[in-house]
Amino acid sequence: MRILVVDDSKAMRMIVARSLRQAEIGAFEMAEAPDGEAALALIVGGGAFDLVIADWNMPKMTGIELLTAVRNAGLEVDFGFVSSETTQEFQKRAKDAGARFFVTKPFTPEALRDAVLGGRA
Amino acid sequence: MSKSRLPAPDGLALTLRSLFGRAVTVKVLPVLVAPVASSLTASYELDDGTVGGACILDVQLAASLGAALALMPPAVAAEAVRRGALDAALMENVHEVLNICTGLFEGGDAPHVRLGAVGTGAVPAAVQAMLKVPRNTVTIEVTVQGYPPGKFAAAVG
């Protein structure tokens, strides 16, 4: 599985990677981007990602703007959020835009695993 | 309109414990710890842009939280405390911790907030005003296992 982790915090990208390893989701390759704009370039540039895990609040382009841009580009890459936003409103907006999961920070490796693997064939 | 929720000590401990994966103990202090030049002040903004809440970390806690997030050695935090300032990496990390603490000001009928300005030096006027109302403030001593303890003060408007 190829996963793109998008977060403006380098430490948080590291934590997501560590959590994915601890959660034993199976073999995966991980790429990183510090904001939505950089992530979009990787995705439309042929990154062939199976999953994008994005923060919501980021400079240049937010996570929801990234998801919208990806869908507008006709790409159906699997997408989830890992965010400090805690309200239902944000979770609904994410789902309406086509995200498969929304995990609130801080999270456990198990919660991330359940989100990443949940609903996958 | 309802106001932001004052962060609960247990909620703070749970958030940090979940984030760092290590033991965190908290103790409420009876007196508000006044900010000093090296303190880090974070404002939490309501959707209309006004300040709904704030927290103030002394340099000890700011350094410890920044180091613990990235599993940096405690010596990195101790060096920042000795200098009286955080380097760029610690600052970026503690910014993320403060971002994750956003949820401590929400819940129930409290409105949505997002992390606003974070910085040292002069405390914004809106935050100063909040700090003058003791019932709207809390000061908590925080110890993250393996790192120097420090103080966290929070206030809501």
pLDDT tens by residue, B25-36: 999 999 888 889
Domain boundaries, chain B: 9-156
Tally: H helices and E strands in chain A: 5, 5
Average pLDDT over residues B83-111: 95
| ipTM for this prediction | 0.80
Q: Which residue of A has its CA nearest to B109?
A: A87
pLDDT value at residue A121: 45
Is pTM beyond 0.95? Reply is: no
Q: In B, what residues contact A, Cβ < 8 A?
A: 15, 18-19, 69-70, 92-93, 95-96, 99-100, 102-103, 106-107, 112, 114-115
Is pLDDT above 70 for A120? Answer: no
pLDDT tens by residue, B5-27: 999 999 999 999 999 989 999 99
pLDDT value at residue B2: 75
Q: What ranges in chain B are assigned the alpha helix state H?
A: 9-20, 59-69, 74-83, 88-100, 125-131
Q: Does domain A2-117 have CATH number 3.40.50.2300?
A: yes
Of B19, B70, B114, the CB nearest to A14: B70
Is the torsion defined by CA of B95, B100, B103, B104 positive or negative? negative
The CATH fold assigned to B9-156 is Chemotaxis protein chec (3.40.1550)
Whether residues B112 and A106 touch (CB distance < 8 A) is answered with no
Whether residues A106 and B92 touch (CB distance < 8 A) is answered with no
Q: Which residues of A touch B106 (CB under 8 A)?
A: 86-87
The residue that leads in pLDDT, B50 or A22, is: B50
Whether residues B102 and A106 touch (CB distance < 8 A) is answered with no
* Strand, helix or coil for residue B44: strand
Query: Phi and psi for B116 in degrees, rounded to 5?
Result: -105, -130
Whether residues A57 and B93 touch (CB distance < 8 A) is answered with no
pLDDT tens by residue, A39-59: 999 999 988 999 999 999 999
Whether residues B70 and A108 touch (CB distance < 8 A) is answered with no
